[in-house]
Amino acid sequence: MFNSVLPNIGKQMLKTLNFKHIFYFWVVGKEASISKASIILNVSQSSISEQIKILEERINNLLFDRTQKKMNLTSSGKVLFNILDEFFPAIEELFESLANHKSADVKFLRIGLCPTLSEGLRFNLCYPFIEDIHYTVKVLQGENEFLMNAFDKDEIDLIFATNDNINPYGKTEKFVIGEKKFCIVTNNNVFKQLPKTGKIKALTGYKYINYTPDSDLHFKIQKFMHKNEITPMRIAEIDDINLTKRTIIKLDSFSILPVDSVKNEIDRGLIRKVSGPVKGVDSRVTAIYKPKFKSERFSMHLKNIARTIKL
């Protein structure tokens, strides 16, 4: 792509460029302003302008549209900028990690966490790798689609997920950590209104919060509602467990959440459990990773997590 848009760049041409040429260009491109770039770089505006001018002359392409007040990128400039916008942050992260690594044979591990994992579980899944001096860990959180795309782009090495439908492209290996139990929870006000028996069916008509269709929990809960002839009023679809819990505490509503995620709120009397484990909603917590990343140490951590973690 680079060569097709900027055909005049060759090996000899690249040898005549230096770091300042492309770095100054990148900063100006991010800020769309030479004056702002001057402040960030602590370099005079004339010096920055000169470096960009040299870069444009060397590659025989205009990188900025100077007919506008802002330093807007041309089509060639956008191609070069997009490449550098991945390169510079990545190289900065690499240098920082090398300078501050914990071990001589450190490995960089990028972990992706799905949003339906509780805060405590996220910690327990990541901590063994963070504690290990042989790993420098970067943790990312996002929707399932984001995690799969990042995994496919080699931006994530390991995904901890509760969705059986997460299947990134290419060769992957999976390790089941365990099965996660769910329960129906509500606040004190709603709980007091429910009868002593038949509490689950009595939820018909009450407001409830489901997961988004991005999570297979969404469809499992729909199936559970239909099977048990419950017709509540869906008011929201949220994958963030903490947000759901706070909403339930404040608003008379209910949801089906992981048992481990509501323990503290139940102990504090903020949330009430309407039922025990909900059949058909339980989900497996699975580690998804690329075969090339597997090692004896890596496998040991996954096995220890599966053996000691409480779901």
Same domain, 114 and 205: no
Residue 296, domain extent: 107-179+284-308
Same domain, 113 and 85: no
Q: Which residue has the higher pLDDT, 129 or 85?
A: 129
Among 41, 62, 97, give the residue marking a domain's end: 97
The answer to whether residue 13 scores a pLDDT higher than 70 is: no
Q: What is the mean pLDDT of the chain?
A: 87
- CATH number for the domain including 75? 1.10.10.10
Q: Specify the DSSP class assigned to residue 233.
A: E
Burial class (CB in 10 A: 0-12, 13-18, 19+), 253: buried
3-state SS assignment for residue 108: strand
The answer to whether residue 290 scores a pLDDT higher than 50 is: yes
Mean pLDDT of 162-172: 82
Same domain, 254 and 291: no
Mean pLDDT of 46-51: 90
In a domain, 125, yes or no: yes
The count of structural domains within the chain is: 3
Q: What is the pTM of this model?
A: 0.63
* pLDDT of amino acid 3: 47
Among 50, 71, 97, give the residue marking a domain's end: 97
In a domain, 102, yes or no: no
Same domain, 168 and 288: yes
Beta bridge partners of residue 209, listed in sequence order = 236, 255
Same domain, 16 and 135: no
Cα 20 to Cα 66, 90, 221: the distances in Å are 21, 17, 56
* pLDDT of amino acid 276: 78
E runs forming strands in 88-243: 107-113, 135-141, 158-161, 173-180, 182-186, 207-210, 233-237
In a domain, 161, yes or no: yes
* pLDDT of amino acid 142: 86
Same domain, 61 and 79: yes
Q: What does the pLDDT look like over 49-107, one tens digit per residue?
A: 998 998 888 888 899 988 777 889 999 999 999 888 888 877 776 666 666 655 556 78
In a domain, 175, yes or no: yes
Q: Where does the pLDDT of residue 18 fall: very low under 50, low under 70, confident under 90, or very high at 90 and above?
A: confident
Edge-to-edge order in the sheet of strand 158-161: 135-141, 107-113, 158-161, 283-289, 173-180
Mean pLDDT of 290-297: 89
